[in-house]
Chains A and B, each alone.
Chain A
Amino acid sequence: MAESASIVNLRRYRLIRNAVFVWLTLVVLGAFLLRIPRIHILEHTARNLYFHVPMWFTLMAAALVSAYHSLRYLQSGDPIRDLRAREAARVGIVFGLLGLATGIVWARFTWYLGTSLWWNFDPKQSFVVIQLLIYGAYFVLRSAVEDPEKRGRVAAVYNLFAFVTMPFLLYVLPRQMESLHPGAEGNPAFSDITHPIMRLVFYPAVLGFIGLFWVLYTQRVRLALLERRLEMRKATMLEAKS
C-alpha cells in the first residue's frame, strides 16, 4: 500500500489527529471551567461562543478546500482532486448542519424566550441554509451523471460557480435582515463584548474544530481512495477475464 502513503501522509495524519484530540479536550475544559464576566441576557450561553461559532468558521474552511480542489481538478483532471472536493463538501455539510442546529437552539432560549419562535431570519443563519442547499444540489448533480470523468468536471464547474456567488450572498443578506451577531449594524463589535479570557478559549476552539474537520476529511479521503482502487481492480479483472 505504498500508493496510499504517497497521497496521505499517515504519520502526519496520526500526529495531527492526536494533537486535535488533546487540543479540543483542553478547549472544552477551558470553555466550562474558566470564569467569564456575567453578561446580561446571555448569562452562561456566552460560552456557546466556543462551540457554535467555530462551526461557521469550519464550514467556510471546508468550502474553501472544496473549491480549491475543484479548481485543481479542472486544471489537472486528476481524479483524486475530485474525491477531495467531494469529501470536503460532505464534511462541510456536517459542520454546516451543526452550526445551524446549535444556532437555532441558542437563539430560541436566549433571544426568543416566550415567543416559541424557532426560526430567525439572521444573515448568517440564512447563509448557512443556502450553502447547505448548494452542497445538496452539488451531490444531486453528482448522482445524476454516470461517467466519472464527466461527473467530476460537471460537479467542479458547479462548485466553482456557486463559490463565485458566495461573496454576493455575504454582502446582500445583512442588508436585508437584521442580525443577532456582533459586528452587525447596531450590535457591538466582537472585540467589545468579548473578555480577553473568552478570546483565549475562542481562537483555540476555532483552530481545534478546523483541525477536527481536517481529520474527518482525511479519513473520508482515505476511504474514498480505497474504494476507488477496489473499483479499478474490479475493472481490470473483468478485462482480464474477457
Chain B
Amino acid sequence: MKLQALTDTTGIATPYDTLWATAAVPTKPPQGIERVMLAEDKLYVVLAVVLIIWFGLILFIFRTDRKLNRLERTLQERLPEANTELSS
C-alpha cells in the first residue's frame, strides 16, 4: 500500500514524525480509558467525536430555546398592558 511506503525511518520519535510510522504503536498494553477507546479498531474514538458534536449542537439549541422562552414571557407581560394603555 502507498501509505506503508511513508514509514518514518529516521528513528526520531516525536509524536509528529510518527504520524504514519509503525513506531507509534505502544509497547505497553493500553490502560484505563485508552483500553475503552481503542477497542473495536478505535471505533469508540469516532463515537466520542460524534457524541461531542451532537451534545454541543443540542446544548446550543437549548440555549436558543431558553432565549425564545424569555422573549415569549416578556411579550406576554408587555402586550396586554400595551393594549389597555392604547385603548384608554
Contacts and interface: CB of A to CB of B under 8 A. Distances in A.
Interface of A: 28, 32, 37, 39-45, 47-48, 51-52, 55, 91, 94, 97-98, 101-102, 105-106, 109-115, 117, 120, 178-180, 186-188, 192-193, 212, 216, 219-220, 223, 226-227, 230, 233-234, 237, 240-241
Contacts of A227: 67, 71
B71 A226 contact: yes
- Name the prevailing secondary structure of the A interface residues: helix
A139 to B, nearest CB: 14
A178 B19 CA distance: 11
A40 B41 contact: no
Interface residues of B, number: 46
A197 to B, nearest CB: 15
B20 A105 contact: no
Contact of B41 (A44, A48, A216, A237): A44
B71 A109 contact: no
20 contacts: A40-B22, A41-B20, A43-B42, A44-B45, A94-B56, A98-B57, A102-B49, A102-B52, A105-B52, A109-B45, A109-B48, A113-B26, A113-B30, A115-B15, A187-B19, A216-B60, A220-B64, A226-B71, A230-B75, A237-B78
A188 B6 contact: yes
Contacts of A223: 64, 67-68, 71
B45 A110 contact: yes
A110 B42 contact: yes
Nearest to A104: B52
Nearest to B41: A43
Contacts of A233: 78, 82
Interface in B12-61: 14-20, 22, 24-26, 28, 30, 34, 37-38, 40-43, 45-46, 48-50, 52-53, 56-57, 60-61
A44 B19 contact: no
A111 B24 contact: yes
Contacts of B3: 39-40, 188, 193
B4 interface: yes
Nearest to A101: B52
Given A111-B24, A192-B2, A230-B78, A94 B57 contact: yes
Contact of B49 (A52, A178, A234, A241): A52
Given A32-B46, A226-B71, 11 more contacts: A37-B1, A43-B42, A44-B46, A101-B52, A102-B52, A216-B60, A216-B61, A223-B64, A223-B67, A233-B82, A237-B85
A237 B38 CA distance: 63
User: Which has the most chain A C-beta neighbours within 10 Å: B37, B40, B61, B85?
Assistant: B37
B87 interface: no
Contact of B60 (A47, A94, A186, A240): A94
Given A41-B20, A98-B56, A47 B4 contact: no
Contacts of A193: 3
A51 B26 contact: no
B49 A48 contact: yes
